[in-house]
Structure 1
Amino acid sequence: MMKKTFRNQHRMLESFGYEFLVTCPSCNHYSKVISLGDPSPYVPRTSIRFVCTNCGMSKELT
C-alpha cells in the first residue's frame, strides 16, 4: 500500500505562516498567534494577534 503524501501546490513555507500554536504566558494553556496581514516574515509591519481561548488574554502587535 502506498503512503499518502502531502502536496503543497508549489507554495513557499512562509505561505503557511498565518497561524501558530503557542503557550499562553498567563495560564500556560494552548493559544494562537494569528497574522492579520501578509503571513510572510519578509513583509515589514505586519500586524499579529495573540489570543488565548482559555483565559481570554489578547494582544495585538505590529
Structure 2
Amino acid sequence: MTVRIDRTRCIGSGQCVLAAPDVFDQSDDDGLGFVMIAEPPADLLPGVRDAVDRCPAQAVGLEE
C-alpha cells in the first residue's frame, strides 16, 4: 500500500500527523503535510487509515 498527500489540497491542519506521527510530518516552511514513509508496514496502516478519515481537505490517500 502506498500513502500520498496531495499538497495542492492540503490545508495544514495536522490531523494526519496526529493520527500517524510515524508516517506523516508537517513542513516547517509552509506547514503542509508530507509523507515520511510512502509504503508503511502493516502495523502502521490503522493510523494511516485514521489519517485518511480525519483529513478535512481530503488530501491524504492510501492506494492499495
Greater strand percent: which structure? 1
Larger RCO (CA under 8 A, 6+ residues apart): 2
Q: TM-score range by the shorter chain?
A: under 0.3
Q: TM-score if structure 2 supplies the norm length?
A: 0.25
| Structure number with larger C-alpha Rg | 1
